[in-house]
Amino acid sequence: MILGRVTGEVVATQKHPSQEGRKLLLVEPEDFAGARAQGAPAGLIALDAVGAGVGERVLVVLDGYAAMSAVERPMSPIDAAVVGIIDRVDALGS
């Protein structure tokens, strides 16, 4: 799982039937402090399982089985899903 911030929505006029009714979100990976994660991709496209919106900090799974299970679409071509909206991160030493 990774932390990230939703920076936009992806609009697709055509997508796999298993993804109908779900938003596609553009998520930028972040570290615990909220800065862009070093070495991470510039952005991920993830299927929304929790109703997240632009600007929210989220938790993303990058495992296909976990992602398709989170959005309740078994055996679907999904490799990333937003599974939580983060209220805050408490870490020792921060």
Q: Give pLDDT tens digits for 19-76.
A: 778 899 999 999 877 777 666 667 899 999 899 999 999 999 988 777 778 777 777 8
pLDDT at 93 over 70: no
What's the whole-model pTM score?
A: 0.84
Distance of CA 53 to the CA centre of its chain: 11
Residue 8 confidence (pLDDT): 95
Where do we find the tokens 């936009």? 8
Q: Can you give the pLDDT at residue 94?
A: 54
> CB-based burial of residue 86 (10 Å sphere; 0-12 exposed, 13-18 middle, 19+ buried)?
middle
DSSP per-residue letters across 25-54: EEEEEE-TTSSBPTTS-S-EEEEESS---T
Which pLDDT belongs to residue 40?
A: 67
Mean pLDDT of 7-29: 88
Q: Does the pLDDT at position 3 exceed 90?
A: yes
Neighbouring C-alpha atoms within 13 Å toward the C-beta of 52: 29
Which one-letter DSSP state was computed for residue 51? -
Superfamily of domain 2-85: EutN/Ccml (2.40.50.220)
Let me know how long the chain is.
Answer: 94
List 26's β-bridge partners, or say none. 8, 45
The pLDDT score that the predictor gives to residue 7 is: 94
